[in-house]
């Protein structure tokens, strides 16, 4: 699973308490807004960058051109357990 950048320590355990949806063998639990008592635990694997997003601005007949790029930093997480 990929998420926005979290703590940069690899191998660290992570817990998510605000679980919105769980599906198990065709049975689905939907939270209103969250499922109480549920928890997802995982382990941080790596810090990576997403694909580059290019932004190009231009004003016609003025000779104005600007090209910018952005790469979002992400954290790669391995899900270990869903309770």
Q: Which residue has the tokens 């979002």?
A: 72
**Residue 30 to residue 22: CA distance in whole angstroms:** 7
Q: Which residue has the tokens 């899900």?
A: 79
Res. 54 pLDDT band, cuts 50 70 90: very high
38 contacts 30 by C-beta, under 8 angstroms: no
Q: How much is the average pLDDT of 6-35?
A: 88
Question: What local confidence, expressed as pLDDT, does residue 55 receive?
Answer: 98
pLDDT greater than 80 at residue 7: no
Q: How much is the average pLDDT of 29-58?
A: 94
2 contacts 77 by C-beta, under 8 angstroms: yes
pLDDT greater than 80 at residue 22: yes
């Amino acid at each position: 699973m990929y998420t926005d950048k979290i703590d940069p320590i690899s191998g660290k355990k992570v817990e998510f308490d605000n679980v919105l949806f769980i599906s198990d063998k065709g049975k689905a639990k939907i939270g209103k807004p969250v499922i109480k008592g549920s928890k997802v635990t995982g382990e941080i694997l790596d810090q990576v960058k997403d694909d580059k997003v290019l932004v190009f601005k231009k004003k016609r007949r003025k000779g104005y051109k600007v090209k910018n790029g952005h790469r979002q930093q992400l954290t790669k997480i391995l899900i270990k357990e869903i309770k």
